[in-house]
Amino acid sequence: MSHKPPNSHTRPIVQPAVKKKYFTLLLNLESISSFLA
């Protein structure tokens, strides 16, 4: 664990992209459900 760079622990680069992907997926799901309703 200690051999891991502290940089990645404080600020992961993947998180923002994953968050955006999740948000887009949620938005798509909402529009699909509203379209079906």
Cα angle 10-15-21, degrees, rounded to a multiple of 5: 170
What is the structure's pLDDT at 23?
94
Domain boundaries, the chain: 6-36
What is the structure's pLDDT at 20?
93
Report the predicted TM-score, pTM, of the whole model to 2 decimal places. Answer: 0.48
CA dist., res. 19 & res. 11, Å (int): 14
What is the structure's pLDDT at 3?
64
Over residues 1-37, the pLDDT tens digits come to 566 655 555 666 668 888 999 999 999 999 999 988 7
What is the structure's pLDDT at 17?
85
